[in-house]
Structure 1
């Protein structure tokens, strides 16, 4: 079961930063890439209960969460080292543990009348950007850009592709038997 879950987590997390970069075009602001990547995760979790559960479990279990921290620490360092110049890779690894906990908490809570997607994204990004010591003015600029983007259709497409890949994989396993 753990191997299957780790495979699913690797599939979900493996290309998320790349997808965000492609969406933003040539040489995007790394902070914007981070914000878009995290925001797409939030939309996916909001739109698909099974994928929400996968994300929450992925961020919670030791094996899968360790994969997440190890695979994103260097990306996090690249994005945020300009704000925390004295930090080393191990520091970004540790901060990624904190930001993953924040992200998991926001993912687990479904939007409602008071906690809208806009409020969720604004609060989540503010928490993460503050953790990484991004200046207030830059936080507001990037959060404003992200909130103007229509990320829901992108999340819907990722969900559709993920479900299709999962079904194809399941069918091939059944065919082998």
Structure 2
């Protein structure tokens, strides 16, 4: 069911994919979907956990040993932006993931500790609860920029610079440090990295779906 959903989400987007179409693609009856998931949002939550669980790890590996935590944060967010810009179905999945109650709550809960590690030196005596609440704000900022497509007058560089400035300012990062890190991020060619991640996502979905069909 999950493999079928990923395949259909990538082809048609989240909103246009119905639970009945997912069940049909999985070779099951429409009612079978609800034996596995309460609703489509519950299935999306499973996918969001997969999408978000390793994003910071990927950014750290890309940057090498002991990278600046601010750089890791900026690269991770920037890769999300590139993925959304390169794939409309994935843009929709990200935006919906940042919007629905269960998926957005998972994002806040799963990233609050990471955010605390990255920004604690700039936010004084803030506790985990404070970082959870600030993550609600930064996630809202990220969602807004993600939903807005780039164009001739709002380039990817403009988007990344403005997004990162907003987020870094929220966490009290000094202006000079902001400019330093943003400058470093804009020098990294993240587009092919994002494209590779999209291709890997599509490949894994197709291979998994085909393997399930072969077993059936």
Counterpart of 1:23 in structure 2 is 62
The runs of 5 or more residues in structure 1 that have no matched partner are none
TM-score (norm 2): 0.79
| Cα distance in 1 for residues equivalent to 2:119 and 2:109 | 16
Within 5 A, what are the aligned runs for 1:87-102? Answer: 87-102=126-141
Q: Which runs of 5+ in 2 are unaligned?
A: 1-40
Measure, in 2, the Cα distance between the counterparts of 1:169 and 1:33.
30
SS at match of 2:150: coil
Other-structure match for 1:44 = 83
Within-5 A mapping of 1:138-177: 138-175=177-214, 177=216
Q: Which residue of 1 aligns with 2:26?
A: none
RMSD, aligned CA: 1.1
CA distance in 1, matches of 2:211, 2:110: 28
Structure 2 CA distance, aligned partners of 1:87 and 1:129? 16
Q: 2:156 aligns with which of 117, 131, 134?
A: 117
Q: Distance in 1 between matches of 2:106 and 2:210?
A: 27
**Structure 1-normalised TM-score?**
0.96
Displacement of 1:155 in angstroms is 0.2
1:31–1:24 CA distance, 2 compared to 1 (3 A): same
Query: 1:117: how far off?
Result: 0.1
Taking the aligned partners of 1:101 and 1:171, their CA distance within structure 2 comes to: 37
Larger-gyration structure (1/2): 2
With 161-170 and 138-147 compared, the bigger mean Cα shift is at 161-170
| Residue 173 of structure 1, CA deviation | 4.1
Structure 1 residue 58, shift from structure 2 partner: 0.3
How far apart are 1:12 and its partner, in Å? 1.3
Q: Secondary structure at the match of 1:155?
A: helix
What is the CA-CA distance between 1:3 and the residue it aligns to?
2.6
Give the Å deviation of 1:142. 0.2
CA deviations 1:88-116 (Å, max 9, x no partner) are 00000000010000000000011001110
State how far apart, in whole Å, the 2-side matches of 1:91 and 1:24 are: 28
SS at match of 2:122: coil
Which moves more between the two structures, 3-12 or 86-95?
3-12
Give, in whole Å, the separation in 2 of the partners of 1:127 and 1:166.
34
Question: Over residues 59-90 of structure 1, what are the superposed CA-to-partner deviations in whole Å (9 max), with x where a residue is unaligned?
Answer: 00011111111110000000000001210000
Q: For residue 166 of structure 1, report the CA deviation from its aligned partner.
A: 1.8
